[in-house]
Amino acid sequence: MRQAQRGGHLVPGRGEAAHPAPPRVVPTLKLKVEHTEKVREEDLPRLESELLGKMHGLLKIRPAVTWLAPNTLERSSKKTQLLEKTYE
């Protein structure tokens, strides 16, 4: 418990709360995004900026985005693993 000093005496329960900064995630979260055939290559930077803005506004994260060509990600009629483990 923090104590504040008042008139030369320590008063328990007074003081300021210290809030540490949120932990920084290292390495950065990596997000793979598959675009459609209708999306032009020159539109990707704008789309990425919009995506990162929304994710930071809602989730407070800024992932590293990797754009994938159409039909790159595996399609499945069963449950699909959406998270890829790239570490050991």
Q: CA-to-CA distance for 25 and 87, rounded, in angstroms? A: 14
Q: Residue ranges per domain, the chain?
A: 33-72
* pTM exceeding 0.75: no
Q: Mapping DSSP to helix (H, G, I), strand (E, B) and coil, where does residue 44 land?
A: helix
pLDDT tens per residue across all 88 residues of the chain: 444 555 555 556 555 666 677 667 666 788 999 999 999 999 999 999 999 999 999 988 889 999 999 988 887 766 677 777 777 6
- Given a contact cutoff of 8 angstroms between Cβ atoms, the answer to whether 46 and 12 are in contact is no
C-beta atoms surrounding 10 within 10 Å: 10
Q: CA-to-CA distance for 72 and 74, rounded, in angstroms? A: 6
Which residues are CB-contacts of 77 (< 8 A; sequence separation ≥ 6)? none
